[in-house]
């Protein structure tokens, strides 16, 4: 099976040195890519900026911004049978990028942000017969928001986790399908979660 995995954060640059991002380490996505390759699948990994080596046996595409990731995903997506979308893609980017370095001035600084493209929604809209797994990191109304995302993005599975998962070696999470929990993990390694997810590919 041909599998696409997305991983890591994105960076949206304000100027030449400053950017908006998040604390995603990319470990979950890299674990999924490695597990899929170990299971004999043909794997493409599209990852934002992370401090991780390319997984063995995986075609790795490194990107920076949400727009970069969108283009890389849309290029690879037509040729795959399944996708595991773990990337923590930035929802907003600066409306304008300042040339050079933004100078400090007296008083407050106001930034105008605009929405980035919703990559997972585009994947869901073009899903066809592909299997699509998404992730949700929620703080408030977690289950309700995750299930709403499951429906809106046309997913087959959604993995609900918490902010403490970012950068951690282990994780607590629940996997939902058709409105119900199909698997619970408590104190599991990301490799264990990844192997279970890859086991759903068929």
Q: How far is CA 65 from the centre of its chain?
A: 13
pLDDT of residue 174: 96
Task: Give the DSSP letter of residue 200.
Answer: T
Residues forming a β-bridge with 185 = 173
pTM to 2 decimal places: 0.95
Establish whether 145 is a catalytic residue.
Answer: no
pLDDT of residue 164: 78
Q: At what angle do helices 27-38 and 190-199 cross, to 10 degrees?
A: 50
Q: Establish if 121 belongs to a structural domain.
A: yes
- Which residue out of 22, 145, 154, 161 is catalytically annotated? 22
pLDDT of residue 167: 73
Q: Establish if 126 belongs to a structural domain.
A: yes
Find tokens 């979660």 and name the residue. Answer: 193
Q: Establish if 9 belongs to a structural domain.
A: yes
* CATH number of domain containing 116: 3.40.50.10300
Give 72-128 as a DSSP string. Answer: HHHHHGGG-SEEEE--B--SEEESSPPSS-PPP-SS-----EEEPP-HHHHHHHT-T
Q: Establish if 24 belongs to a structural domain.
A: yes
Q: How far apart are CA 7 and CA 150, in angstroms?
A: 19
**Per-residue pLDDT of the chain in tens (202 residues, 90 and over written 9):** 999 999 999 999 999 999 999 999 999 999 999 999 999 999 999 999 999 999 999 999 999 999 999 999 999 999 999 999 999 999 999 999 999 999 888 899 899 999 999 999 999 999 999 999 999 998 889 999 999 999 999 999 999 998 777 777 889 999 999 999 999 999 999 999 999 999 999 7
- What is the number of structural domains in the chain? 1
Find tokens 């970012």 and name the residue. Answer: 166
Q: Establish if 116 belongs to a structural domain.
A: yes
Q: Domain range holding 18? A: 2-96+110-134+143-156+194-199
pLDDT of residue 129: 97
Give 4-19 as a DSSP string. Answer: EEEESB--EESSSS-E
Find tokens 């794997």 and name the residue. Answer: 43
């Amino acid at each position: 099976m041909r599998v696409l995995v997305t991983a890591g954060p994105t960076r949206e640059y304000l100027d030449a040195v400053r950017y908006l991002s998040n604390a995603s380490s990319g470990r979950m996505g890299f674990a999924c890519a490695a597990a899929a390759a170990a299971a004999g699948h043909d794997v493409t990994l599209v990852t934002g900026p992370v401090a991780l080596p390319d997984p063995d046996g995986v075609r790795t595409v490194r990107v920076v911004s949400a727009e970069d990731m969108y283009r890389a995903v849309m290029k690879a997506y037509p040729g795959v049978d399944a996708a595991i979308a773990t990337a923590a893609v930035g929802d907003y980017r600066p409306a304008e990028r300042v040339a050079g370095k933004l100078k400090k001035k007296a008083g407050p600084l106001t930034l105008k942000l605009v929405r980035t493209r919703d990559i997972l929604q585009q994947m869901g809209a073009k899903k066809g017969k592909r299997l699509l797994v998404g992730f949700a990191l929620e703080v408030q109304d977690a289950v309700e928001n995750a299930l709403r995302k499951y429906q809106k993005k046309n997913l087959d599975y959604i993995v609900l986790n918490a902010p403490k998962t970012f950068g951690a070696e282990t994780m607590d999470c629940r996997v939902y399908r058709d409105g119900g929990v199909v698997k619970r993990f408590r104190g599991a390694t990301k490799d264990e979660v990844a192997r279970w997810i890859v086991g759903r590919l068929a």
